[in-house]
Amino acid sequence: MSTPRAVLGALRQTIVGQAEVVESLVLTLVAGGHLLLEGAPGVAKTLACRALAAALGGMFRRIQFTPDLLPSDIIGTRVFDQKTAAFSTVFGPLFANLVLADEINRAPAKVQSALLEGMQERRATIGLETHALPAPFLVLATMNPYDAEGTYPLPLAQLDRFLAKVVVAYPSRDEERAIVDRFGGGEPPLPIGVATLADVATWQHEARAVFVDPKVRDYAVDLVRASRVAELVAHGASPRAALALVTLARARAYLEGRAFTVPDDVRDIAPAVLRHRLAYDDRIAVAGTDPEDVVRGIIAAVPAP
Amino acid sequence: MASRRALRTGCARAVSAAVFALLCAPAGAQGLRTLHVVTLSMTADRTEVPLGSDLHLTIHARVREHVSALDELVVPEVGTMHLLGDERRVRRGPAGTDVDETLTLEPIDAGSFTLPGAFLDAIDGRTGKPTRFTANAVRVTVGPAASAAGNGWLRRAALALLGLLVAAMGVTLVLRIAGRGRGAAPVAVASVPFFASASAASPRDVVRDALAAYCTAPSSDTLASLRSAVLAAAGTVPGATTRDAVAATSDEQLRATLRAAEAATFSSEDARSTAKEQFIETARGWLK
């Protein structure tokens, strides 16, 4: 059986830098959640997702979200077959193991809602029939923070469905040079078949058995509660955030080969869990404060056990 | 030639430090900065130094905030040691800012000395209260010189002290006349004394006591106290994690002890007894 570290290593061979993105992809996979990636165009968001899909060998589908997209375009529809004189079901691209929802905020709320319902329920309804989505099922959604015109911002309740959000930064100068050297000649080679879907199912099962000490659990809860009373925050994180912290902490411990979680696990993944779950009040714009600093402040304000 | 330059450098540093100490004197009455101090530790590259040699005393501070300087950091007065130079490095990363202040010191007298820990005053971001964060003390033993140069050192020491005194008086006079402003200098020298005693409990002593308490009465409370003592020995403040502590020390055996403490504290019940035994064994190894 392969290990998540093998997948991590394979992704690092393909993606130059972007350590947080690569680790978050593997952690989300092990935790059985969904990941939101925000970054400028051309910073390897899509490449990272394609590399993960190639490494796992599952069914990969990419959906480019546009303003004219319909829910049936992603879920599927019922079509009338004239030969059999009956309706048959055509499954949409959501029926895959790994779904890349590119620029998720470009589609209207109805489409976003259809996707997010699938993410939460892990099933989709076409006509009168409800179908289970394949397992494992992982949605990787991307957002471009710059071209805001003509976009449909995701409401907080829908953002909450994502286990984590990673901000994909520009690479450093050395990394950018390495990108040009390595990929200047064409498409980068993707890691093929590093693990199987059965391996992923085993990892997810084993990660759920990682021990969480009550002190670590309380630390996660305290972080979430601190977000609700933090300065410049209008609405703090939901209890789902505390669950996400513990789930990802387990995945991180599993990735590092530990059978128990430690406070560092929670603290390390806290920014990715909290950043998209907070609503800020108007003073943040007046103060010119970076929301990331608010998140850092919340984490720093809670002493680790 | 070199020793004269060293003497001049030492005097200049001492003067600038004295200036800073005077300028900062009313700082307590002014607004303190809010900081989340993760680590404040002090280490010496050698703890046994012959007269005529120098040592490097490094103060490491990590704060969660992104700051360009940590002017609140007050290093201990180096007293009868020559301050030959200082170097400050500030590194900003995703976890905050690391500040390393390295002092190059040259002992004058033989003996065993305890350098009190550097400190910084700030509003603790965790509690919102004014707090003094203090680093661990460092014990240094100064042995006799390898060559017979003792008289020369004493003369230089006397000259350095005289120079320091005169310069400090001059600066005080100038400041009183000017009566204004605050400045910044690379090193702030505290009014805490440099004393030759073993009265301050060293981090090892604290860990030794906590270990004895745990072995006498094993409980979750005594285990937590022992782990806190080990974390503090690495120079971290309460609320820091094992990774903060591991990053704050270069002592590999202490790092192993920190990791063992973590396993003993957070592993599952069935694995915890083994982890506790390993922790005790590793801590004893570090204490030897």
CA atoms of B119 and B76, how far apart (whole Å): 8
For residue B264, is it within any domain? yes
**CB-based contact, B204 to chain A, within 8 Å:** no
Q: Fill in the DSSP letter of residue B236.
A: B
Q: Give phi and psi for B211, each to the nearest 5.
A: -65, -45
Q: Are residues B128 and B169 in the same domain?
A: yes
Counts of helices then strands in chain A (DSSP H, E) = 13, 11
H-only helix segments in chain A: 4-14, 19-31, 45-56, 71-75, 109-121, 156-159, 173-183, 197-208, 214-228, 239-255, 263-274, 283-287, 291-301
- Three-state DSSP class for residue B53: coil
Which of A210, A222, A258, A262 best probes binding to B when mutated, by most B CB atoms within 10 angstroms? A262
Q: Are residues B140 and B41 in the same domain?
A: yes
Size of interface A-B (CB pairs under 8 A): 52
CB contact under 8 A, B271 and A260: yes
- Tell me which of B143, B178, B213 is where a domain ends: B178
Q: Mean pLDDT in chain B?
A: 75
Which of A264, A265, A299 best probes binding to B when mutated, by most B CB atoms within 10 angstroms? A264
- Tell me which of B121, B144, B178 is where a domain ends: B178
Q: Are residues B116 and B250 in the same domain?
A: no
Residue at token pair 């900062």: B24
pLDDT the model gives residue A41 = 82
**CB-based contact, B64 to chain A, within 8 Å:** yes
Average pLDDT over residues B13-18: 50
CA atoms of A245 and A223, how far apart (whole Å): 9
For residue B189, is it within any domain? no
- Three-state DSSP class for residue A205: helix
Q: Are residues B116 and B240 in the same domain?
A: no
**Triad B222, B225, B229: Cα angle to 5°:** 140
Q: Are residues B94 and B229 in the same domain?
A: no
Q: Are residues B64 and B168 in the same domain?
A: yes
* Those residues with Cβ within 8 angstroms of residue B220's Cβ, 6 or more apart along the chain or in another chain: none
Q: Are residues B146 and B266 in the same domain?
A: no
**CB-based contact, B242 to chain A, within 8 Å:** yes
Distance from CA of A245 to the nearest CA of B (A): 16
The domain that holds B26 is classified in CATH as 2.60.40.10
Among B24-33, B115-124, B226-235, which is the least confidently predicted range?
B24-33
Closest residue to B266, CB basis, from A213, A302, A303: A213
For residue B188, is it within any domain? no
CB contact under 8 A, A297 and B125: yes
Which residues in chain B are closer than 8 Å to A302, comparing Cβ atoms?
A: 126
CB contact under 8 A, B263 and A267: no
For residue B196, is it within any domain? no
* Upstream peptide bond of A136 is cis (omega within 30 degrees of 0): yes
Q: Residue B264 belongs to what domain range?
A: 203-287
Which residues in chain B are closer than 8 Å to A261, comparing Cβ atoms?
A: 266
Domains plus CATH for chain A?
1-191 (3.40.50.300), 209-305 (1.10.8.80)
pLDDT the model gives residue A244 = 95
CB contact under 8 A, A303 and B239: yes
Q: Tell me which residues of chain A have a pLDDT lower than 50.
A: none
Residue B175, pLDDT > 90, answer no
Which of B92, B129, B225, B266 best probes binding to A when mutated, by most A CB atoms within 10 angstroms? B266
For A95, other C-beta atoms within 10 Å of its C-beta total: 20
The percent helix, strand, coil of chain B (3-state, each to 5) is: 45, 25, 30
- Tell me which of B134, B163, B178 is where a domain ends: B178
Which residues in chain A are closer than 8 Å to B271, comparing Cβ atoms?
A: 259-260
Residue of A nearest to B243 (CA): A264
Residues B24, B188: contact at Cβ < 8 Å? yes
pLDDT the model gives residue B26 = 38
Q: Are residues B239 and B125 in the same domain?
A: no
Both tokens assigned to B196:
């030759």
For A265, other C-beta atoms within 10 Å of its C-beta total: 30
Dihedral sign for Cα A155, A38, A64, A90, please.
negative
Q: How far is CA A11 from CA A5, A38, A206, in A?
A: 10, 19, 22
pLDDT band at B19 (very low <50, low <70, confident <90, very high): very low
Which residues in chain B are closer than 8 Å to A211, comparing Cβ atoms?
A: 266-268
For residue B230, is it within any domain? yes
Q: Are residues B167 and B215 in the same domain?
A: no
For residue B192, is it within any domain? no
CA atoms of A190 and A19, how far apart (whole Å): 17
pLDDT for B252-287, tens place per residue? 999 999 999 999 999 998 999 999 999 999 999 999
CB contact under 8 A, A297 and B271: no
Closest residue to A211, CB basis, from B36, B262, B267: B267
Closest residue to B241, CB basis, from A261, A296, A304: A304
pLDDT the model gives residue B24 = 43
pLDDT the model gives residue A131 = 92
Residue type, A276: H
Distance from CA of A283 to the nearest CA of B (A): 20
For residue B184, is it within any domain? no
CB contact under 8 A, A213 and B265: yes
For residue B164, is it within any domain? yes
Q: Are residues B138 and B217 in the same domain?
A: no
Q: Are residues B146 and B19 in the same domain?
A: yes
Nearest partner of B68 among B99, B37, B94, judged by Cα: B99
The percent helix, strand, coil of chain A (3-state, each to 5) is: 45, 15, 35
Residues B234, B245: contact at Cβ < 8 Å? yes
User: What is the domain count for chain B?
Assistant: 2
pLDDT for B116-172, tens place per residue? 888 888 888 877 788 888 887 787 888 877 554 445 555 566 666 666 766 666 666
pLDDT band at B184 (very low <50, low <70, confident <90, very high): very low
Both tokens assigned to B4:
């004269």
Q: Are residues B207 and B173 in the same domain?
A: no
* Those residues with Cβ within 8 angstroms of residue B25's Cβ, 6 or more apart along the chain or in another chain: none
ipTM of this complex = 0.83
pLDDT the model gives residue B132 = 83
